[in-house]
Amino acid sequence: MITLTHYLVLGAILICIGYLGMMVRKSAIGMLISLEIIFNGINLTAVAFNRFLHPDGVIGQIMVIFIITVAAAETAIALAIMINLFKKFKTIDVDEVNLMKW
């Protein structure tokens, strides 16, 4: 039988993989994918807590829908920024882009 601990361990693994991906990747698209993996780990833990601690409640699902909405908006804005950076610098490597530096 799958318990809450199984879901929490899987969620923690997803969050760690996403965090490691954010630290290692140099491409902005790779960083976005890693951020989405982090969000999926958070969503998994929220749904697992809701399922095992309050099976009749919907607070966990509402929180997951909110996180998915924020992640979709963040991805759309980040992709628009990356398209503009690519037009200007001809690269999406975050080390090469120094637009925000003084």
The 10s digit of each residue's pLDDT in 50-85 is 999 888 888 888 989 999 999 899 889 988 988 888
Query: Tokens 């991805």 label which residue?
Result: 75
Whether 96 and 90 have beta carbons less than 8 Å apart is answered as no
Mean pLDDT computed over every residue of the chain: 88
CATH number of this structure's domain 4-89? 1.10.287.3510
The contacts of residue 36 (CB under 8 Å, 6+ apart) are: 18, 71, 75
Selected residue with higher pLDDT from 10 and 96:
10
Label residues 73-96 b or e (16+ Cβ within 10 Å = b).
eeeeeeeeebeebeeeeeebeeee
Which residue ranges make up each domain of the chain? 4-89
